[in-house]
Structure 1
């Protein structure tokens, strides 16, 4: 049976945040920069905030009809978040916020293609992994960026993600090791 991918709506937020919270609960980046106490809950809420306040109103976000996967892209001209949103994000990072700030400062020196969109998040529920859903979601979102003649970039902190992104025409542009433990790869995909 073919998978049906569609644009996300606000009605999808709770399930999408749950899927992403589960997908990123044991992800190296979130383990490193989101507090350990109530970790999965914090990650889920962070994902919900990013979807609700950034991806849905300003970017592109997709899910499948079964709500097992999510992908979101953010435009290069994303408005600055308001103070109350920043305060919530700071609170959710907890005692590891300083790590996130230091990492962002270091990573800001890594090149990003001009006017490129960011692949902000992509995740699939544990029960739906290994069936190609992540690739299908990427394909739909990237096809829209291609229609807009837009380049894209992403950061990943899992080496096993590299082949997936390379299949979608991303190439490694940079690599950094943070705090001698966390690796991050920056990848670029040109406009078509």
Structure 2
């Protein structure tokens, strides 16, 4: 059975942030950008901030039973509020400078960003990520949107390629992960 997808509300954010924290527990990017001390707590708090931001400036989708979440940011979305930026700086600690210095490529004008997608590890391989991704991309295709993303897990490149993304740039971050920037033009149906 294909997992059902719903638009998230503010009430869904705490559970969605927990799912993302669990999904990203060993993810190369978050392991590199978030201090090891209280890593899991910092990760969950950061995910909640970013999900609320995406809820205000994009689309956040959840799997009906709360086992997965995807967040898409609209083109031109502002940076998080000053209060959120201050909280992010505290949570990132001494890793913030490294994050800022990564030199990842700019996204094309007018592109939506798949900011995050994650599934409860107990549900990996059951189609939850594909359902979330398909639903979000269908919505973006309806408005003719190109979608971009970054991933530092080679397994994700395979998933995203199945959904029409192609690697455009691979960035080797000194003392950090390899990051693949991928783009998917709008699909016309």
**TM-score bracket, shorter-length normalisation:** over 0.9
1:31 partnered with 2:31: yes
Structure 1 unaligned blocks of 5 or more: none
1:77 partnered with 2:72: no
Tell me which residue corresponds to 1:145: 140
Equivalence map 1:83-98=2 (5 Å): 83-98=82-97
Tell me which residue corresponds to 1:186: 181
Alpha-carbon distance between aligned partners in 2 of 1:80 and 1:10, rounded to the nearest angstrom: 19
SS at match of 1:139: helix
Displaced runs of 4 or more, over 6 A: none
Number of aligned residue pairs: give it: 187
Q: TM-score, normalised by structure 2?
A: 0.95
Contact 1:145–1:151 (CA under 8 A) maintained in structure 2: yes
Structure 2 unaligned blocks of 5 or more: none
Classify 1:124/1:83 alpha carbon distance in 2 versus 1 (closer, same or farther; 3 Å): same
Equivalence map 1:59-138=2 (5 Å): 59-103=58-102, 106-107=103-104, 110-138=105-133
Alpha-carbon distance between aligned partners in 2 of 1:172 and 1:2, rounded to the nearest angstrom: 27
Q: TM-score, normalised by structure 1?
A: 0.94
